[in-house]
Chains A and B, each alone.
Chain A
Amino acid sequence: KAGVTQTPRYLIKTRGQQVTLSCSPISGHRSVSWYQQTPGQGLQFLFEYFSETQRNKGNFPGRFSGRQFSNSRSEMNVSTLELGDSALYLCASSLGDSSTAFFGQGTRLTVV
C-alpha cells in the first residue's frame, strides 16, 4: 500500500505570494490532517479534514486554509506569505475513526 504522498517536496516563494500544498492520503483513509513544524514552535496542528469537512482547527491565522476533495486528497493554502511561514508542512492520514495516523515526508517551504 502506498503511503501518504505530499507534493511538492521543496518550495521557495517570495513574501506576499500564496502557495498551495497537496497531500494524497493512504488509500481508504478519510481523515487528513496538516501540521506545521518550525525550529522555534515545534510540531503544531493546523487543521483536520474528514469527508470533505473541516473537523478540527488549530490556532493559526485565516491566511492558512485547506480543503478536501471527494477522493480524500487534500490541499493546504497559505496566502500573503510571511518569512515566518518558512517551515516543514506535514500531512497525516487515518481512517478517521480513532485509528492510527500516518505521516507523509512533508513539504519544505522557504519564504524569501
Chain B
Amino acid sequence: DAKTTQPTSMDCAEGRAANLPCNHSTISGNEYVYWYRQIHSQGPQYIIHGLKNNETNEMASLIITEDRKSSTLILPHATLRDTAVYYCIVVHGSGNTGKLIFGQGTTLQVKP
C-alpha cells in the first residue's frame, strides 16, 4: 500500500473551514484514500473515503487531485469537538480494510 505524508499539526479557528492535506504520491490506480480521526484515546472514527472523484458526506468533503497524488479533507465549519488526530490512509482496492497502516496523522487543534 502507498505511504502517506501529513503535516504533524495544524490550527483552525472555530467556525472556519479546516483543510487537512495528505500526500500519497505513490498511490496506484486501485487504491482508495480513507480518512479517520481519533479524539483523545477513543477509537478511530471513520470520516470518508474516495477513489478518484470528490466525495462529500455529513461530516466532511474529500478532494482528490486529478493525478491522485494528493488529497484534502475539508471540515466546512470546524467546532471545538473536531479537535483530534486525523489519519489519511491508502487502502488497496482488493480490499484490505482489515489491515490499515496508520501513520502519525495530523493533530488538528480548533481554537475559539
Residues on A lying within 8 angstroms of B by beta carbon are: 4, 31, 33, 35, 42-45, 48, 50, 55-56, 58, 88, 90, 92, 94, 96-106, 108
Q: For A92, list chain B residues within 8 Å (CB).
A: 43-44, 98, 100
- Are B100 and A33 in touch, CB under 8 angstroms? yes
Q: List 13 A-B contacts (CB under 8 A).
A: A42-B102, A48-B99, A50-B98, A55-B98, A92-B44, A92-B98, A94-B97, A98-B91, A99-B95, A99-B97, A102-B46, A103-B45, A108-B41
Judge whether B43 and A56 touch: CB under 8 Å: no
Is the contact region of chain B dominated by helix, strand, or loop, or is it mixed?
loop
Q: Does B9 contact A (CB under 8 A)?
A: no
* Size bracket, chain B contacts: 20 to 34
- Complex: how many Å from CA A102 to CA B45? 7
Whether the Cβ atoms of B46 and A106 lie closer than 8 Å is no
- Mostly helix, strand, loop or mixed at chain A's interface? strand
Residues of B within 8 A of A108 (CB): 41
Residues of B within 8 A of A (CB): 34, 36, 41-46, 49, 87, 91, 93-104
Q: Which residues of B contact A96 (CB under 8 A)?
A: 98
B41 touches A33 (CB 8 A): no
Which of B42, B49, B93, B99 is the one whose CB lies under 8 Å from A33? B99
Contacts of B98 in A (CB 8 A): 31, 33, 48, 50, 55-56, 92, 94, 96, 101
Across the interface, do B42 and A98 meet the contact criterion of CB distance under 8 Å?
A: no
Residue from B46, B94, B104 within 8 A of A101 (CB atoms): B46
A79 to chain B, nearest CB (A): 23
How many Å from the CB of A73 to the closest CB on chain B? 16
One of A58, A100, A105 near B43 (C-beta < 8 A): A105
CA distance A108 to B49 in the complex (A): 28
In whole angstroms, how far apart are the Cα atoms of A31 and B98 in the complex?
A: 7
A104 — nearest CB in chain B belongs to which residue?
B43
Q: Which residues of A contact B45 (CB under 8 A)?
A: 103
The distance in angstroms between the C-alpha atoms of A42 and B87, with both chains bound, is: 11
Q: Given the complex of chains A and B, what is the CA–CA distance between A33 and B96 in angstroms?
A: 11
Contact between B44 and A90, CB atoms less than 8 A apart: yes
